[in-house]
Amino acid sequence: MATRYVLEDVAIVDNDFSADSRDKSGLRIVSFDLRRSIKLHLAIEHIVQIEAVKDAKLDEARSIVTMTSGHRYITRRGAEELCAAIETAGVA
């Protein structure tokens, strides 16, 4: 079976959320700046976890993707949208 990928705008998590913030509903608050992001092909089989989070500035849904390597990325898309893209890529 061929490895499937999903193309995503991501920002690298560099502080490991040592001082993380949460909103009233308990969602983690993150900062995603499109100008500082990179386009990255994420290998679906190496994704360990997708966490739903919220953007601090734009109040939009984002997600944190944890890879088998331990690297963590904040994505431009929310967790639900990213999971839907992964399902679509898995079917193709």
| Average pLDDT taken over every residue of the chain | 88
Model pLDDT, residue 87:
92
Mean pLDDT value across residues 43-67: 93
**What is the CA 57 to chain-centroid distance, rounded?**
16
- The pair of structure tokens assigned to 70 is 């331990």
Mean pLDDT value across residues 9-34: 82
Domains and CATH numbers, the chain: 5-91 (2.30.29)
Of 90 and 73, the structure prediction assigns the larger pLDDT to 73
Model pLDDT, residue 3:
79
- The pair of structure tokens assigned to 79 is 């967790």
Q: What sign does the dihedral 31-43-68-45 (CA atoms) show?
A: positive
How much is the pTM?
A: 0.86
In the structure, what pLDDT confidence band is assigned to residue 1 with cuts at 50, 70 and 90?
A: low
